[in-house]
Every structure is written in C-alpha cells, then in structure tokens.
Amino acid sequence: MPARRSRTEHWRDSLAQLAERGGALEVSLAGPEGEDYDYNHSVRKNLIWRVRVLSVNDHEIVVEEPVVMRQRIALAPGIELIGVIAIGPNRWMFRTRNLGPTSGRLAGGLETGALRLIMPSEVERCQRRSFYRVSTMGLHLPIIECSALLDPESAFAAEAANQALITDQLTDDVIARIEPAPEHSVLVPEIGPSFEASMVNLGGGGVGLLVEPDQAHGLESHRLFWLMINLTPHIPSPLGVSARLVHTHLDVSHRTYAGMSFEFGRHRAHEKFVVEQICRYVAEVQREQLRSRYDRDAG
C-alpha cells in the first residue's frame, strides 16, 4: 500500500500520537455554508491557530484554547471549524464543531483552558503546492505586506496613526462601505525593501508567515520588520505592527517559513489595540457563520 494512502487511512493514530507527544493541531473558523468551495473568494480571511492536542477519544478532540498576546480567543459553542493535521510536509483537513469549553493539562501537568471538538468521520489530504486546499474546502490566508524596519523609533508614530485611522473608520455606521485610506495618506515608519507573505498561523506572541521563493530575498539582511496585516472588510484598513524575525526554515517546495514575534516596545497601548481588532475580526466571522446557519434553517 502506498505510504500516503496508509497515512491517510490511519489519521486517527496520527492524532493520538500528537496528543501523546504534546503536538499541535491547526484550527480556523469555517466560513458561511458553501463559501469554502469558492476558491476565488478573496474577502474573508482565515486566521489559523496552532493549538496543542491535549487528549483524544472516539468522539472528541480536546485542544488548548487559542490565544493572541495572552488574550483568550472566544469561540462560541456550536461554531464550525476547519482542522488541519500537519505532520512534516503532509497535511490533512477536516470539518469539525466546537462542543464547548473544558479544561485540560499540558505535558508538565499545568491546567489550562481547552475546547472540545467533534472527532471527524474522515479527513482529506492536502496537495503539496496547495496545502490549505482540498476538494471540499479551503482556507484563504491573509496577505501581509512586510517591510524592513530601518528605524524602530519611527514605528511609534506610525502605530499611533494606524490606530487613529482604524478607530475613525470604525465609527462609521456600516463598515462594509468603508474603503481603506489611500496609500499616500497612511503614515508609515522609516522602512526599506518590501515583500508579501501569507499568514499561516497566529500565535500567542506573533505570527508565522509563508514566503514564496521569489519574495524571500527580503528576509536575508534584516531582523526587524513593519507588517501590514490585511483583515478587511471587518477591519477597514490593514493593522500596522512591528515584528522581529525569530527563525526561518525552508519547506520541501523551497518556500520560507518565517516565525515573527510582535515588538511593541514602549507602546503597550498599541498591543491592546491590535488584540482588540483581532478579537473583533473573530467575532464578526462567527456572526457571519451563525447568520448563514439561521438563514439556511429558516429557509
């Protein structure tokens, strides 16, 4: 039997091994019913969290709660999620549902908040080049514009301006009508060369980015970056934040995975603002899903 087929058929064993070794599952909010089939959809973006698998049984997967900058991300009971089992270069996707909060223990015995997810009946293997796509669903990764940050002190004013811009835009009655401010009117810090990356996970203190080979030159000679995180339309303009490159590695397709840690320095107010906007985005996507479910059931 081919190795790939064997691993797909024994995906439950892989989940059990992740739980035994303190490994992680990738989870993201599913879009409104039917949206995941539209590969050309480019409005809603999927935030992905890597959460440790605490335990599994025949009916449930228990994972730690997702967080961002020490802030718990509230996921409503009954909300539908997409899960990704990632082992080396191989990925399998499945749909699941949040059964509600519980508690669990990490490898060192420390108790932590956790979520109970329905154990799926089947999974589907992702293709190597489209590793967040399968025939029945797909994730739409946020695009981040990354620029070398030449003067860290100049980021303070840019963060304050970014916060003021988004706050002003959110005071309008209908966010969907708001267009991002023209590029020339957005204050940016002193920056150098830029490149684009896809955000493949959002962690407790930063982000994981996937950089295509033709863009990776931007990572060669700098450690500090200015990131513009696009979460439109629910956040009307990209979130600007400083970040430090912590580590990189190449995948089998020669794409660079870059782990970046957010750098707020003296501007702790901006840290709170960024967390609030991410939580706002998550809440809006959940509301979309619940409205879609209500409309479907009512019809």
Q: What pTM did the predictor assign?
A: 0.86
Q: Which pLDDT belongs to residue 108?
A: 76
CA dihedral sign of residues 125, 131, 132, 136: negative
Domain 143-295 has CATH 2.40.10: yes
Topology annotation, domain 3-125 = Pnp Oxidase; Chain A (2.30.110)
Phi, psi for residue 212 in degrees, rounded to 5 = -70, 155
Q: Please, are residues 51 and 5 in contact by the beta-carbon 8 Å criterion?
A: no
Virtual torsion, Cα 281, 283, 286, 290, nearest 10 deg: -130
Q: Which pLDDT belongs to residue 276?
A: 95
Query: What residue ranges do the domains of the chain occupy?
Result: 3-125, 143-295
Single-letter amino acid, residue 203: G
Below-70 pLDDT ranges, the chain: 1-9, 32-43, 128-129, 172-185, 299
The CB-side HSE value for 290 (13 A sphere, CA atoms) comes to 11
Which pLDDT tens digit goes with each residue over 124-168?
998 766 778 887 788 889 999 999 999 999 999 999 999 999 999
